Amino acid sequence: MLNIELNGRVPSDVAEIQRLATVNYGHYTSMQVRGRAVRGLALHLARLSDGNEEFFDYRMGIDDEQRLLGLIRHALGTETDASVRVGFVAPLARGAAPDVLISVSDPVDDTAGRPLHVRTDHYQRDWPAQKNAATMGSMYAVRRARLAGYDDALFVGPDNRISEGTTWNVAFYDGDRVIWPEAPMLKGVTMVLLQLALTMNGTPWSIRPVDAVELPLMTGAATVNSICPAQPVAGIDGVPFPATDKLVSLLRDAGESIPFDDL
């Protein structure tokens, strides 16, 4: 399936299509819809509201949220399971509210793939706290990693602190607790939900700065995003993680306990 709607209709005007294709300014959130429900819906809406305030000086109210939910349902049509990207893009008229761009595609299986081999990259996304449209740097980091024989890239800041992956947060395990890096980065919806779920089931976890030199001290690592809450990482820069299966088990158990919110 594939559907793209701008403010509730399929864009057909040449000027609209030209704007969407050439003006790379905006922000978005991505979610997996199952049974017309989403995990962490309130967090997705809060992310979009924060992005609108940051990039468009526009704060969403309750009516805006209800309109947005209606647009998501409209774009889904009769589909119950799907991958949905909800974005806000620059409007044609100066000073107008940002336009809503929603794309719907096939749902993605959340089953973890083979363990990843990841390469660190000294890079930080523009506006790291926002899920924004400036993605070329991240994609270029993936390309560099693959040319070097790795699967993906993990960002390290100028202070050598680990932050996030190209399209995911990272979790570590030290044998006793789950560790989440503290650094300028996106607070992923799935990451926040997992932290809450870990607290609820009594699993120890903490957020703290993680220097790249600490990698050999970690026993497990996993990537976390809305597609897969616990994708195992076999190694980073050649440093192996023998207890990744334990970490993945903790994260997956926590993820399965997170409820869905009806759209």
Q: What is the CATH number of the domain that holds 152?
A: 3.20.10.10
Among 249, 113, 206, smallest CA distance to 168 is for 113
Same domain? 151 vs 77: no
Helix (H) or strand (E) holding 179: strand 178-181
**Cβ-contact 99, 88 below 8 angstroms:** yes
Q: Is residue 110 part of a domain?
A: no
Confidence (pLDDT) at 60: 92
Confidence (pLDDT) at 247: 96
Between CA 145 and CA 125 the distance in angstroms is 16
| pTM across the whole model | 0.94
Confidence (pLDDT) at 94: 79
Counted domains in the chain: 2
Quick one: tokens of 118? 């990841």
**What's the length of the chain?**
263
**Phi, psi of 3, rounded to the nearest 5 degrees:** -145, 140
Q: Which amino acid, one-letter code, is at 55?
A: F
Q: Find residue 143's DSSP bridge partners.
A: none
The separation between CA 13 and the C-alpha centre of its own chain, rounded to angstroms, equals: 31
Quick one: tokens of 206? 């903490």
Q: Is residue 262 part of a domain?
A: no
Residue 187: CB atoms within 10 A of its CB come to: 15
Same domain? 148 vs 61: no
Domain closes at, from 70, 105, 140: 105
Quick one: tokens of 55? 């990039």
Enumerate residue ranges in the chain where pLDDT < 50. Answer: none
Give the list of residues 6+ apart from residue 30 with CB closer than 8 angstroms, or none. 83, 84, 85, 86, 131, 226
Domain closes at, from 105, 135, 162: 105
> Which structural domain range is residue 152 located in?
116-257
Confidence (pLDDT) at 16: 86
Confidence (pLDDT) at 83: 98
Same domain? 120 vs 151: yes
Between CA 201 and CA 195 the distance in angstroms is 10
